[in-house]
Structures are given as C-alpha cells and as structure tokens.
Structure 1
Amino acid sequence: MGALMRFEEALVTWVAGGPEAERAATAARELAGGVRAAVLVEGDSDRAAIETLAARHGRDLGAEGVAVVPLGGATNIGHFLDVCGPPGLGLPLAGLCDLGEERHFRRHLERVGLAEPGLTPDGLEDLGFQVCDADLEDELIRALGADGVRDVIDGQGETRPFRTFQGQPAQRDRPLAHQLRRFMGTHSGRKEQYARALVAHLDPAVGVPRPLERLLARV
C-alpha cells in the first residue's frame, strides 16, 4: 500500500473517532508531508470521475501527492475540514459537491476560517470547491447526451437491465435523462462504475463538465 493510500485510510479512521482515532491521527500527521493537496468529495463515484479524467490528461494524482478523499456523504465535510484544514493539518484543499449539499460546504468553510461569512457560489469556486448541477450523474448525462450514455450502457453490457428498469411502473413515464440518472444508483457500486465509464467516453472537443474541468485545473 502506497503512502498516499495509507494517509487516506488514516484520515478516515481519524475522522470516525473511536479507540483507533489517536493512532490514526498520528499516522496522518506523519504522512501529510507527502500530500500536496487534498480533494474532498462526497463519494466514491466522484473520486472515480476525477481520477479517470486526470488519467485522460496524462496525470496520476496519487503520484503527484493529490489525495482524493470521499467523505461518505456531504454532511461529513465539517469533520474532514477539522482534520485537513486550518484546525488540523493545514493542507491545501479543493472539493466537489452536489448542488443540494452546497450549503454544508459553505457553512463549514466559513466555520474553519477558510472563507469569510456570506460566501457566494463564485467565492466557493474561487476556493477550489466546485458544485455539480444537480449532481455528478446529471453533469455527465448532459455532457454526453442521452444517446451517448446509452452507448456507454451498451458497452457495459447492461442494455437489458436498463430496459427492464425503464419498464418499471415508477419509471415508464419519466424522461429518459431521469431514467438514466436513476439507473446508475440502483445497485451498490454502479455509480462508481458509470462515473469511470462516462468520463472515459467524454469527447474533449465537445466539452467536459465545468465542475470537473475546474477542479482538475485547480490541483
């Protein structure tokens, strides 16, 4: 296991608290010297998208010392800012969240002193924290278009499961974009699977979702 992965694991254990927290905090402090920046994201699918996009640009974020850390939900941002931000390790930070969770990020960035009260959406972006509208899946579906997403589903060998999903009573009358977005969340691990696959399918000439593009440029 590499040093960056050990750092990320120590960080998560530290935040979780409990009997191992003190040991994990010590380990995280020792390993933090090799960390150039920490990117705080809501979940594993966000990390998969960022790492896949970086690889398409010829970058290995791990080798660069950029830790992409899933929070396990946006409401945990405060705990991670306490250990990664000015109250803790004082690392350079960036992040990614859904539109509906923006308020959690703003409030805690203000609380730990990384932003003045009244942080605006533009100010949040300037700090390196990007917001998806409405979430990562929505951004990727709009970037690729429905036909492009269905091509990816075909490539993943899931055309039949998707058609079965479309036939469910709750989905039959929904717009296609809604069906696609909901399908990606139906099984554990599917959001991460499609984050990688959809980003790999993006056409740079057409455009990369702005939050992902700006985040990668930041780090």
Structure 2
Amino acid sequence: MDEMGRFRQALVTWVAGGAGASAAAGEARELTGGGVRTVVLVEGSSDQVALEALATRHGRDLGAQGVAVVPLGGATNIGRFLDVCGPAGLGLPLAGLCDIGEERHFRRHLERVGLGSGLTCAGLETLGFHLCVADLEDELIRALGAEGVQQVIEAQGEMRPFRTFQGQPAQRDRPVEHQLRRFLGTHSGRKALYAQALVEHLDLERVPRPLERLLDHV
C-alpha cells in the first residue's frame, strides 16, 4: 500500500475510534510529517476516482504532490473527519466535494470547527469545498451528453444490461438522462468504474465546474 493509501486507512481507523484509534492517529500524524500536505474530503469512492482520473489527464499525480483524496463513506461522516483533519486535529489544509443535497452537513461542521461562519455556496467554494448540482454522476452525464455516456457504456460491454434496465416498468417513461444516472448506481462498484471511464472520455473544455474548480484549488 502506498503512502496515501496508508494515510486514508489510518484516518478511517482513527475516525472509527476503538482499540486501534490511538495507533492510527500516530500513523496519520507521522505520514502528515512525511509528505501529506492537503486532504480532500469527498462523499464516496467514485468521487475520489473521478478527481484522480481528471488529475491524471492534466498530467498530475495527486499522491506524489501530497494531496490525499479521502472518501467519507457518506456526507454525514464529515464532522468526524473534520475533527481529525481540521484545526483541532492534524491542522491540514482541507478541500472537498459534495452533492448539493448534503451541503448542510458540510457547512454546519465546517462552521463548528472554526473554518467559517454564515457560509454561503460562494463561501464554501472559497474554502475549497465545491457542490455538485445533484451528484457527480449527474454532472458527468450533462457534460458528456446522453449519447456520449451510452458510447462509454457500449465500450464497457454493458449496453445489453442498460437496455434491459431501460425496459423495466419503473424506467420506461423516464428521460434517458435519468435512466443513465440510475443505471450507474445499480450495483456496487459500477459508480467508481464509470467515474473513471466517463472522465477519461470527457472533452477537457467541458469538465463539470465543481470537479474542475476543486482540482484547480489543490
């Protein structure tokens, strides 16, 4: 496991508490001294994959640059990660990405740990925390267009499962963009798979704003 992988694992163990938390905190602090300079807090692994894939397309290796992209395992965990990474913990520079529906969790806990007050969306962006309009999948679908996303699905060899999904009674009358968004989340691992594939097919002039602004920030 590389340094950033060890750091992510140490953070998760520290946040979880219990018998291993003290040792994990020590390892996280050691790794911070050894090169971790910024922590990017994202909701899930697909957000991590997308940001790292976009960085690669720009010729950047975030890990080598000391940027640790850490999935929270859900937006409601943001408070515990801010406690260990923020001013009262490791004291590292922070940034992040979340869905607009989860923005209240990020805003409330950023204010609680002293990283702002009365934060607006613009204020969050100034801190380095960016909002997806619905979620990252929605952002990528709009950037590529429905036809472009279906080309990626075809390249992944999953057009037949997608057509079967479209034929389900609950999906038949829905817009194709909605069908695509639901399909990308239908089983474990598919979101991350397509986060990588969709970013790799993006026109770099049409990168979703929150993803582009976040990468620029770090």
Range class of TM-score, shorter chain: over 0.9
Deviations 1:179-200 (A, max 9, x none): 0000000010000000000000
Mapped to 1, the partners of 2:137 and 2:10 lie a distance apart of: 29
Equivalent residue for 2:172?
172
- What is aligned with 1:56? 57
How many residue pairs get aligned? The number is 217
CA-CA distance at 1:18 after TM superposition: 1.2
Structure 1 CA distance, aligned partners of 2:25 and 2:149? 42
**Partners of 1:96 and 1:139 in 2: how far apart?**
12
Aligned position for 2:111 = 110
Q: Verify: 1:13 aligned to 2:17, yes or no.
A: no
For 1:44 and 1:3, locate their aligned partners in 2 and report how far apart those are by CA, in whole Å: 18
SS of the aligned residue for 1:157 comes to coil
* Counterpart residue number, 2:124: 124
Shift of 1:131: 0.2
* Structure 1 range deviating more: 118-127 or 1-10: 1-10
Residue matched to 1:89: 90
Gaps of 5+ in 1: none
Q: 1 CA distance for matches of 2:18 and 2:193?
A: 32
The aligned amino acid for 2:95 is A
Q: Which residue of 1 aligns with 2:76?
A: 75
Partner of 2:45: 44
Alignment gaps of 5+ in structure 2? none
Q: Take 2:204 and 2:4, find their aligned partners in 1: how far apart are those partners?
A: 29
Q: Aligned partners of 2:5 and 2:195: how far apart in 1? A: 20
Question: Could you state the TM-score of these two structures normalised by the residue count of structure 1?
Answer: 0.98
* Partner SS for 2:204: coil
Give the drift of 1:30: 1.1
Identity of paired residues, percent? 76
RMSD between superposed Cα atoms in Å: 0.6
Tell me the SS of whatever aligns to 1:28.
helix
Deviations 1:36-89 (A, max 9, x none): 100000000000000000000000001111000000000000000000000100
Q: Distance in 1 between matches of 2:211 and 2:75?
A: 17
**Equivalent residue for 1:193?**
193
**Structure-2-length-normalised TM-score:** 0.98
CA distance in 2, matches of 1:21, 1:172: 49
CA distance in 1 between partners of 2:124 and 2:153 (Å): 34
Report the alpha carbon displacement of residue 3 of structure 1 after superposing the two structures with TM.
1.9
2:165 partner letter: F
